[in-house]
Amino acid sequence: MRLGDKTQGLKKTDLEGVRLAGDRLQDYVEFWERSARTDAIRAIADATALLALVPPGAVVLEIGCGIGRVLQHLGAGAREVHGVDISAEMVDRGARRLAHLPNVHFHHGNGYDLGDFEAGHFDLVFSTFVFQHMPKTIAFNYMTEAARVLKPSGVFRLQVPNLLHEQHFAAFRHFTQPYFVENPYPMNFYSPPELVRMLEAAGFGVTDLDDYMVVVARKGADTPAALLASGLADQERARYRARISELEAEVTRMRRVYDLPVVQAALKARRRLLRRPP
């Protein structure tokens, strides 16, 4: 692809016109403030799956809560529900929306840490399709901060795009197009091994990981060898099986070509020529 090529697949939404001005933390703050004014209401997670992780009377924190589209569904199942977001506008709108829920609280974060929260306070910390929009170094710091604010054996659930998944890789290729050179959009993709490595270094053991990179990790636990051997190896085996199927189809096609009368005649003629004395 060349810089002058036409970009395909744009949805022509106002949100696509919001660009990242630079790599400083303040640039990310300003980017999400502009995004908040452009696209405020979007459901980003399956609250039912999250509720299954919440013990009775739990204290829960969402990183990147937006206007609280997920928090509002957790209020009835937890003692305290907290959400932190880099966008002050999102936080203000969320606080107004959910003012009728006394156990739901919004916090304006600095885009780097969870400094407003005490160590060992939460039973569950979660984040869905948020870490992909920040540098991986900052995402890793949030992982270490999640470990800090969780209680012993607390649960951390997150989701990021999987670079090894075909649909997510197609999205990755979309962001390589020329439009995003002039309109930078913060988007990072992960592979399962690197995400597991980051979580383990942050103090977690990964207890569940699927192809869509929905990850459940537990503070202070060990990542089971069986999970690594089955989950990641399954992806490798799937790719090998697909490649073997392609090769088998090619062999079948070549055999059909070999059996064509014209090919057989040509082979016989070649053999006769090879048997002639020089």
Give phi and psi for 73, each to the nearest 5: -90, -10
- 116: how many CB neighbours lie within 10 A of its CB? 12
pLDDT in tens, the chain (278 residues): 444 545 555 454 444 455 545 556 565 445 444 554 444 333 334 666 777 887 778 999 999 998 888 888 888 888 999 999 988 988 998 999 899 999 999 999 999 999 999 999 999 999 988 898 889 999 999 999 999 999 999 999 999 999 888 888 888 888 787 777 777 777 889 988 889 999 999 999 999 988 888 999 999 998 877 566 544 545 555 665 676 777 778 778 777 776 778 777 777 776 777 666 65
Q: Which two tokens stand for residue 214?
A: 């929905």
Among 162, 170, 167, 149, CA closest to 209: 162
- 263: how many CB neighbours lie within 10 A of its CB? 12
Among 89, 92, 95, 83, CA closest to 34: 89
CA 218 – CA 153 distance, rounded (Å): 6
Given this model, what pLDDT does residue 76 score? 82
Angstrom CA distances, 145 to 59, 61, 115, 215, stand at 16, 12, 8, 17
pTM score of the predicted model: 0.70
SS3 83: strand
Cβ atoms of residues 44 and 69 within 8 Å: yes
Given this model, what pLDDT does residue 143 score? 97
Cβ atoms of residues 161 and 172 within 8 Å: yes
Q: DSSP assignment of 44-79, as one string?
A: -S-HHHHHTTPPTT-EEEEES-TT-TTHHHHGGG-S
Q: Which residues contact 63 (CB under 8 A, 6 or more apart)?
A: 84, 109, 114, 125, 126, 127, 130, 142, 146
User: Count of alpha carbons within 13 Å of 212, Cβ hemisphere only?
Assistant: 7
What letter would DSSP give residue 86?
Answer: S
Cβ atoms of residues 28 and 18 within 8 Å: no
Ranges of H-type helices in the chain: 25-38, 47-51, 71-74, 88-97, 136-149, 166-174, 179-182, 192-202, 225-227, 233-258, 261-275
